[in-house]
Every structure is written in C-alpha cells, then in structure tokens.
A and B are shown apart, each in its own frame.
Chain A
C-alpha cells in the first residue's frame, strides 16, 4: 500500500514473490492497477489521499473483533499508558489548536505521570484515558460505510483486506507493509505511516521476522543520504539542527537530551551528548574542546519554526530573496510542484551551480520554451559529473545495510564525483576566508576538512576515531585508531565520529565492513534469512530493529518457528539484540522500544505536528465538498506557500472534477534527467501519457492514443491518452469519481517526449516534513486540437 514495488523497487519484489511461493497472501491497495497488482493475489483500487480512512477502518476492525496481540500490546506498546486530562479530540481537531498560527500546542497531549515522573499505566486497558481506550473511541467513527464512501473501496473489498491482514495478529504469524512515496507525498503523509505503525503494533508485527513497515528506498540512496543528513532539519545521526534558541553547546544538549525517570526505560537518546560531541569533534578536529563547547557556536543556526525545505526555498526565490545556489543531484524544474512557478523563480538567481551527466530542465532552464535567454540574468555553471559507475562509495539500502559499490571505469574527460567537487569548493572558500577574512571566518577555517576526497577515508571518519589513547573492554586503542562501536563514543572530546549510527562499520578489527560478502550464518539466522556477515547494518549490525519485542517476558520467541532472538543459557542468540539486557521478567530488563523515551511502541504519538492519532482529512484539492469523519475538510495544519502563482482549486470545483495522481516509471529514474538520455530506455517509455479508464475516455470523447490536455488551476500539460481498464471509476460519496495517473519523468530537454507533469501539482505539504502533495490534486482533461510538446 502506498507503493508500486514491482515497478519502482523491482528487486524488493523478488522477495515478495518468494514469500508468495511460501504461501503468503500479497494484497495491493493502490489507485492504479499496476505491474505490482498484476503479481499480487488481488488488487484493491482506492481514491488517492484516503489511506487514513482505509487504515482507520482496519484499526477499528482489529479492535472491534479483538484480533490484536494482547500481551504484546499491553507489555510493549504505550496502549496501557494514561494520557493527561488536557488531551481531547472534537470534530476533527485535537486539543491545543491555534487557528491563527495553524498549529497545535503539543503539551496538551502529554502522558499523566506519577510522583516519580514515570507515566501511569493501566495494564487492564480499562482506564478511560489510557491510550487503548482513547484509540478505540477515536477510530470508532471509521465504520465500513463511511470508509467505503470516502475511499471508493467496496465494503466487500475492505473486509477482505482487513480480515486477511488482521489474521497476522497471532503470535505465529507476521505481516509486513511496503510503502513508498504513495504514502509520504500527501499533506497527511506522516499520519498515513503512523496509521500503519498503529496497525503493526496492534498485531505485534514490529521486531519480528517478516514484519515491520518497510519504507522502500531506492537508487537515489534515500536511506544513506537521510542518515547523513540531506535534509535541513537534522544533522547526521538524526539529531536536531541547531536553531537560534540553542546558542550554546549546553543549550543544545539540554534541549535535545530526553530524560526518563523509569528505570525500565533504556531511553537510548540519553546518550545523545556523546554522539553530538563526537560529531563536533569530527567536524572541527583539534579545534573542538570541551572548554569551547566543541566549536558548537560556529555552527549555522536556523530560525526556530522556519521552514527551509525546497517548497519554501523556491517560494523565497520567487520572491527575489535568494541570490544564488547549488543544485546537484536534483532536477527541480521537473520534479518540484507547480513547475511554472519554480521555473520562473529560478530566473531570479544571479548565479547557479549545477552538476549533471546530461543537460536537464534545471541546467537549461534559462533557455526553456517560451523564454528569451537574453531576458534571464542568471549565470549558470554546469559541472560535468561522474556517473555512478565511475566512482566508488557506499549506498545504504532500505534495510539499512551499508554496501560498498566499486568504480567500474574512470570518469570520462573532466567529469568528477560530487565529493571531489565539494572538497574543491570548500578548499577554495577556506582559501578566500584565509586571504580576505569576512564575517566569522572561524566557522569555515576551523573545520577539519580533508584536502582530497577519499571515500574510504571518509567512511573511516564516519565510523569515528579515538582522539587519545583509550581502553575499551580491556582492549587498548591508540589515538587515531578506529572506534569499535558507538558504545565507545564519549562526550569529553576523546572520540570523533561523523555519524554515531555508523560507528562499528569500519573498524581496526575488520576494516570496511561495507565490503563484506560472506554468506555464513548460524542455523537460527539461516531459518529467517539473516546474513549478518554480508555487508553491515546500522545500528551495530542489528538486522531487525526492536527485536526484543519478538520474545516474551522470559526471552522466549513468540514464534519459535521464526525466532529472531532468544535468551539461552544466560545470553541472547540469533540477531544482535536491541540492547543486551536480560529478559524483562528478571527485573533487570528494559522495554524493547529503546529509542522512544518511555520505551514503548508508540500507538499514541504525541510528538507529531498534526496529532497523536491519525485522522482522515481530504487532500487540499479534493473532488468532494465535505469530510465524512468531521467538519474539518483538510488537515488543519498542512503547509503551503502563497504567491500569486500558488492557486488552489476549491473543494469539489466543477471545473476540476478529476483526481490526478503522479508517479515514477520502472524505465525512467525520478525526473528522467538521466534515463531520457539512454536511447533504449526512451524506446521502452518514449512519451508522457495519462492513464484513464475507458468510462472517463468515453465521457470525454477520447480514444486510446489521442493527444489530450490535462489542466489544473495552475497549469496545463499535454499527454497521450492511455485508455486502460487498469484505472477504475470509483464510487465516492454516492457518485462516480474518476482518477487519472501520469508519470513525471518527461521534460522539454528531450524533444517530443512531453514536459513537466508537475506544472499541474500544488505547493502544499505535510506539516511534519513539508513533502508536497504530489499524489492527489484536481484536474480536468480534454482532447487536444493540436500538440506542441509531443511528437506525433
């Protein structure tokens, strides 16, 4: 659900097929019947943007029929915790909402604590304010009729999926959910995933073999780049980005280190200062000392509450507030919503540095169709980039495995890996500051920056080193030697590490573990397909996170047939346990969800911007005028920008009655900037198309293969009609609603293939992540009189 795995993560689907061979039922819930659906046991079409209604119905079904894994829910999730009196939910709004700032006061959602500051629990799950009871009440509104009418899924199909998946609530069964951008790219993206989290915790499917919520990452190395902070709001290892309220190292540490008063909670983030100090040591080297807060004060700090994600960056660019920048590894003129606006915004830059394999809609934006290059002031630099096959380095897969990929050939001509470019940039910037000075030159000059980009050395630095002679578990390490694990990291300046999660990946004992290719395993590991000596997995080579939730209080596997770990003869065997403490029943154990403050799987999630439970809200552009679950039509806290080009159509606007969803293709990579230049791939998928049902095509007088115009309130796009039974009309709110789908990989720099689908999509985003709502907006479609963007 929320993924078209066979098409977008083809290798992941190999394992799905193997599970199917062993009797697994594979269900595909997705607006479009795709190549994934073709290989699933069955496909259930639903309207884009109604996943929470669908999943909320499943939560209700599980609770009503008591199909949840009771012991797991009571012992390992926060279902038994008692929520404070300030929590409330009324007609689509949680307590603490401020309409003026469009935000919640999350302090209203906290747990009720006892005199020692430990959350109160009721293991009978009867207390009216325990999470279980609040959840039951919250999702009681998600009856089959309302869900069916909202999603367009028949009651029969809903029950078919609910029954099949809820059957995994037994100790000896597991169920997994694979999702990708089909869930994230919504104004309720995070809550889509939260809904799945609630279901998997209820069914005891987290921490077990064959369970989990599998976020599918792909070729762009989303996992690796997120771990190492491609995003603005975090620094490496999932620590918060410093902001203006944390001016000193002590401010930062105090604000970011959670405290738990429960001796049973491992509260792993209590170690954050060690990871943070080691990161600063890695960044500033000898210059970082405990006395100067490890040079923390030289770090740039964002304004608290300000959003620096690309939706807002391009808005600021549009408003003439940005002068120049570097765009690498991204083709935003094709892949960012409301392309007409972002293309115009880019014209406002004085300078732009890009680096690509091929010219793209971004590198060549200054000469795009309809624009006189003489009127564009931007000076554009296009640096030739090395291809993946021309450089070595690491990638991290969806299962958090760190894998080395080797260089196959030398880069052609003057092409260079990005790493070389960045090192080059920084050396020159340092040189300029050294010569000319400037504002706060220390921030740049005190960095411990390499002279040369060396991926091996960088990986060693990511792992981390001792900065003085140290003894760990009786073993002596000299200054400069590699740390064996993150447990060796300290907050006194004696260690450095560019990312604590990767500590242990490159050690004195075993070298670069990303290169390991041994298939050796114990019979217990073989039984569930674990290969602990193949590559390396963060953290500490633990292959299944939260695996102590797979055993009972005595350390016995709930499913002995598929045991992940087991407490045997005074120690854990199997996978690397999530913390080595003895089983809970000994009284010396710790709750298994060690990364959450209280140690529990979070059915109730008070940390999100849009509520502790998921709630169905319509997409910002919706074909219906009301929400069947509350008076609140859209998310009360979704993000948006508001230039004159950021128009939104009204709910149920008769001019735009059709739902559009957008997606990738197997044959083209993301925005297509690379793959459109590969003739054999372009041969296989040559042009922008729009998939639509025969019913809609007939209504609009469109035949398969016709040129059509798709229009939203923001723009229009030419496409070729692909009339297909794989798109089904949906019965929503008592009437037929049509949905169409388009890929976004085609662009004008490949003549005749079409141009950006994202000229149609809106700049509205999730309140937690600001990911735009690419998956659901409203459009209309008509037959084209003539085509200018597509070769005929």
Chain B
C-alpha cells in the first residue's frame, strides 16, 4: 500500500511554510520575482524547476462575500502516472515509481528529453505539474521527499505545516481521514469534495468549486471529451503493460 497526502484546504492559512520548506530541503535557488504587472501574493507565479510546491491564491466576490482560496499545488503522485507512461515511450526509466512509497520520480535520464518530448510529458499530466530546467534539460517536480520517507521522516512540507492542512501517511488511513473530514465539512460547505481520490496519492479536500482554486485542481476539470492527454494516456497504458 503506497503512502498518500491529504491536503485539507479548509485548514490552509497560506503561510507558505510548505513552499519554503520544500525549497530549503531540496536546496533550490530562489527565482527573481516581481509584483510589477502581477500584483498578487502568489509568488513565484507558477511552478518551475526551482519550485516543486506552490501555494496558489485565488479570490472572488460572491454575493458580497469574499472567498479567498489557497491551493498548495504539487505533484499528485498518480496511482497510474500518465507522465511515466508517456516518458516510457521515449526513454524507459526516466520517470519511475517507487512502489514502496508510491512516489513518482523524475530521474536524471529526463535530461535526455528534447523540449518537445518534455512538452508531451507535460501534456500527459492532467495537473500540469512537470517543469523543465532549460540549462540542464532535466525535468523537475515534487519528489514526495522520498528519501526522507525511507528515512522514517515526514515530507518536509508536512513536517512544517502548523495547521494540519498537510497530512501524510498510509493511503488507506489518509482516505479514511479524507472521508471523515469531508463529511464534517459538508455541513457548512455543500460543495465540498475530494479531488480525484481514487486516482492520486495527493488528495485535495476542497470546500469551494474546483475552478475557484486553480485551473488544474482536479483532472476532470481540464478534460475535454477525449483530450490530448487522455488520448496519450490511453495510448500509453497498454503499451506499457505490454512491455511489462
């Protein structure tokens, strides 16, 4: 049974402890950011090769009531990761899954991917997670702090979270916790939902409509009727199964 995260956005205060801890643990350099032409607390503006974790801020006014949603975005560590399936078609072993933890990992072999091949992988991800370091060519995203987990520690983002937004543990325990929290939150938030709990190991609990958090907060949100991603994912799966 793999490990899972529960990200309970109803508790998130967007303190960004997770975002900073991720950078510190992975020793990632800071990007030059600006408010000019941007004017938002969401910095950096998007995930990038130096930010595997990004708290997204989304605000709207609804009948005179302000809603400000926080979405600590990261790789979902899919149960059947389409990025790996896609990558396998280029170079097997470039993207791997640690079956013990469920961590989906980009290896150094991703450096062999051309920008176009990287784009294919990125397109395969329903959550728009993979990013590329243009200097090294390597692909980057959340590592689940896999080495920390093997060392008996929590992922850095979970360790620093002061509010209980970031939870981590055995998948069945996290699913259980997610359902309990969901039931509780449904009382006040009838729209509350779990984002793709069956397909991912990073389960988001949302209280508002998914599109009020982020374009890619749930997979179904971004899917057309047979999108390119779906197409490639469908294409890749039997291919990979055949090779296995």
B59 on the A face (CB < 8 A): yes
In the bound complex, residues from chain A placing their C-beta under 8 Å from that of B33 are 682-684, 686
B151 on the A face (CB < 8 A): no
- B35 touching A35 by the CB < 8 A rule? no
- A687 touching B66 by the CB < 8 A rule? no
Instruction: Tell me whether A43 and B44 are in contact in the complex, defined as CB-CB below 8 angstroms, given that A13-B162, A666-B15, A722-B39 are known contacts.
Output: no
Which one of B13, B38, B40, B68 has the greatest number of beta carbons of chain A within 10 Å? B13
- A679 touching B29 by the CB < 8 A rule? yes
Q: Within the complex, what minimum Cβ distance (angstroms) separates A158 from chain B?
A: 16
Question: In this complex, what residue of B is CB-closest to A707?
Answer: B36
Residues A572-610 near B (CB distance < 8 A): none
- Contact indicator per residue, chain A 22-45, by CB within 8 Å of chain B (1) or not (0): 000000000001011111001100
Q: Which of A17, A686, A726 contacts B35 (CB 8 A)?
A: A686
Q: Which of A17, A666, A689, A720 contacts B16 (CB 8 A)?
A: A666
In the bound complex, residues from chain B placing their C-beta under 8 Å from that of A792 are 34, 36-37
- A33 touching B68 by the CB < 8 A rule? yes
In the bound complex, residues from chain A placing their C-beta under 8 Å from that of B59 are 724-726
- B164 touching A17 by the CB < 8 A rule? yes
- Contact indicator per residue, chain B 127-162, by CB within 8 Å of chain A (1) or not (0): 000000000000000000000000000000000001
- Alpha-carbon distance A720/B39, docked complex (angstroms): 7
- Alpha-carbon distance A42/B62, docked complex (angstroms): 13
- A723 touching B30 by the CB < 8 A rule? no
Which one of A13, A684, A688 has the greatest number of beta carbons of chain B within 10 Å? A684
A371 on the B face (CB < 8 A): no
Interface size on B, residues (CB 8 A): 38
- Alpha-carbon distance A667/B30, docked complex (angstroms): 14
A329 on the B face (CB < 8 A): no
Q: Which of B11, B16, B24, B34 contacts A791 (CB 8 A)?
A: B34
Question: In this complex, what residue of B is CB-closest to A681?
Answer: B20
- Contact indicator per residue, chain A 761-792, by CB within 8 Å of chain B (1) or not (0): 00000000000000000000000000100111
In the bound complex, residues from chain B placing their C-beta under 8 Å from that of A787 are 36
B228 on the A face (CB < 8 A): no
- A686 touching B68 by the CB < 8 A rule? no
In the bound complex, residues from chain B placing their C-beta under 8 Å from that of A790 are 35-36
- A687 touching B36 by the CB < 8 A rule? yes
Q: Which of A4-12, A229-237, A343-351 contacts B (4 or more CB under 8 A)?
A: A4-12
Chain A residues touching B, majority SS: mixed
- B60 touching A683 by the CB < 8 A rule? no
In the bound complex, residues from chain A placing their C-beta under 8 Å from that of B4 are none
A522 on the B face (CB < 8 A): no
Instruction: Tell me whether A723 and B39 are in contact in the complex, defined as CB-CB below 8 angstroms, given that A17-B11, A33-B68 are known contacts.
Output: yes
A705 on the B face (CB < 8 A): yes
- Alpha-carbon distance A703/B97, docked complex (angstroms): 45
- Alpha-carbon distance A11/B66, docked complex (angstroms): 24
Question: In this complex, what residue of B is CB-closest to A21?
Answer: B184
In the bound complex, residues from chain A placing their C-beta under 8 Å from that of B24 are 680
- A7 touching B13 by the CB < 8 A rule? yes
Question: In this complex, what residue of A is CB-closest to B70?
Answer: A38
- B35 touching A687 by the CB < 8 A rule? yes
- A14 touching B39 by the CB < 8 A rule? no
Q: Within the complex, what minimum Cβ distance (angstroms) separates A787 from chain B?
A: 8
B19 on the A face (CB < 8 A): yes
Q: Within the complex, what minimum Cβ distance (angstroms) separates B239 from chain A?
A: 40
- Alpha-carbon distance A792/B34, docked complex (angstroms): 7
In the bound complex, residues from chain A placing their C-beta under 8 Å from that of B30 are 679-680, 682-683
B61 on the A face (CB < 8 A): yes
- A720 touching B35 by the CB < 8 A rule? yes
- Contact indicator per residue, chain A 709-731, by CB within 8 Å of chain B (1) or not (0): 00000000000111111101000
- A725 touching B61 by the CB < 8 A rule? yes
- Contact indicator per residue, chain B 74-104, by CB within 8 Å of chain A (1) or not (0): 0000000000000000000000000000000
Q: Within the complex, what minimum Cβ distance (angstroms) separates B101 from chain A?
A: 26
- A704 touching B39 by the CB < 8 A rule? yes
- B66 touching A37 by the CB < 8 A rule? yes
In the bound complex, residues from chain A placing their C-beta under 8 Å from that of B20 are 680-681, 684
- A14 touching B36 by the CB < 8 A rule? no
Which one of A38, A39, A683, A791 has the greatest number of beta carbons of chain B within 10 Å? A683
Residues B1-56 near A (CB distance < 8 A): 11-17, 19-20, 23-24, 29-41, 43-44
- B39 touching A683 by the CB < 8 A rule? no
Question: In this complex, what residue of A is CB-closest to B55?
Answer: A684
Residues B205-236 near A (CB distance < 8 A): none
- A38 touching B13 by the CB < 8 A rule? yes
In the bound complex, residues from chain B placing their C-beta under 8 Å from that of A13 are 13, 162-163
Question: In this complex, what residue of B is CB-closest to A688?
Answer: B35
- Alpha-carbon distance A6/B70, docked complex (angstroms): 13
In the bound complex, residues from chain A placing their C-beta under 8 Å from that of B162 are 10-11, 13-14
Q: Which of A39, A681, A725 contacts B13 (CB 8 A)?
A: A39
Question: In this complex, what residue of A is CB-closest to B38?
Answer: A705
- B19 touching A684 by the CB < 8 A rule? yes
A685 on the B face (CB < 8 A): yes
- A10 touching B15 by the CB < 8 A rule? yes
- Alpha-carbon distance A680/B51, docked complex (angstroms): 10
In the bound complex, residues from chain B placing their C-beta under 8 Å from that of A685 are 41, 43
In the bound complex, residues from chain A placing their C-beta under 8 Å from that of B69 are 38
Q: Within the complex, what minimum Cβ distance (angstroms) separates B182 from chain A?
A: 14
- A680 touching B13 by the CB < 8 A rule? no
In the bound complex, residues from chain A placing their C-beta under 8 Å from that of B23 are 680, 683
In the bound complex, residues from chain A placing their C-beta under 8 Å from that of B39 are 689, 704-706, 720-723
- Alpha-carbon distance A720/B11, docked complex (angstroms): 29
Question: In this complex, what residue of A is CB-closest to B64?
Answer: A728
- B34 touching A686 by the CB < 8 A rule? yes
- B35 touching A722 by the CB < 8 A rule? yes
Instruction: Tell me whether A705 and B37 are in contact in the complex, defined as CB-CB below 8 angstroms, given that A10-B13, A667-B16 are known contacts.
Output: yes
- Alpha-carbon distance A688/B19, docked complex (angstroms): 21
- Alpha-carbon distance A10/B162, docked complex (angstroms): 7
In the bound complex, residues from chain A placing their C-beta under 8 Å from that of B37 are 705, 792
Q: Within the complex, what minimum Cβ distance (angstroms) separates B21 from chain A?
A: 10
- B60 touching A725 by the CB < 8 A rule? yes
Question: In this complex, what residue of B is CB-closest to A11?
Answer: B162
- A686 touching B163 by the CB < 8 A rule? no
- A726 touching B68 by the CB < 8 A rule? yes
In the bound complex, residues from chain B placing their C-beta under 8 Å from that of A17 are 11, 163-164
Instruction: Tell me whether A686 and B40 are in contact in the complex, defined as CB-CB below 8 angstroms, given that A681-B20, A725-B59, A725-B60 are known contacts.
Output: no
In the bound complex, residues from chain B placing their C-beta under 8 Å from that of A725 are 59-61, 66
- A14 touching B15 by the CB < 8 A rule? no
In the bound complex, residues from chain A placing their C-beta under 8 Å from that of B41 are 685, 722
- Alpha-carbon distance A36/B32, docked complex (angstroms): 28
- Contact indicator per residue, chain A 62-94, by CB within 8 Å of chain B (1) or not (0): 000000000000000000000000000000000
- Alpha-carbon distance A7/B41, docked complex (angstroms): 12
Question: In this complex, what residue of B is CB-closest to A752?
Answer: B34
- B15 touching A7 by the CB < 8 A rule? yes
Q: Within the complex, what minimum Cβ distance (angstroms) separates B120 from chain A?
A: 29
- B44 touching A683 by the CB < 8 A rule? yes
- Alpha-carbon distance A395/B45, docked complex (angstroms): 36
In the bound complex, residues from chain B placing their C-beta under 8 Å from that of A723 are 39
Instruction: Tell me whether A37 and B68 are in contact in the complex, defined as CB-CB below 8 angstroms, given that A13-B163, A705-B36 are known contacts.
Output: yes
In the bound complex, residues from chain A placing their C-beta under 8 Å from that of B164 are 14, 17
Interface residues of B (CB under 8 A from A): 11-17, 19-20, 23-24, 29-41, 43-44, 59-61, 65-70, 162-164
Interface residues of A (CB under 8 A from B): 6-7, 10-11, 13-14, 17, 33, 35-39, 42-43, 666-667, 679-689, 704-707, 720-726, 728, 787, 790-792
Could you list some 24 contacts between A and B, CB below 8 A? A6-B13, A7-B13, A10-B13, A11-B162, A13-B13, A14-B162, A14-B163, A17-B11, A33-B68, A35-B68, A38-B14, A43-B66, A667-B16, A680-B20, A681-B20, A686-B33, A686-B43, A689-B39, A706-B39, A722-B35, A724-B59, A728-B66, A790-B35, A790-B36
**9 further A-B pairs in the complex, CB-CB below 8 A; given A10-B15, A681-B20, A790-B36:** A6-B15, A35-B70, A36-B13, A42-B65, A720-B36, A720-B39, A721-B39, A722-B40, A723-B39
8 smallest beta-carbon distances between A and B, as pairs = A679-B30, A720-B35, A705-B39, A704-B39, A683-B30, A6-B13, A705-B37, A38-B68
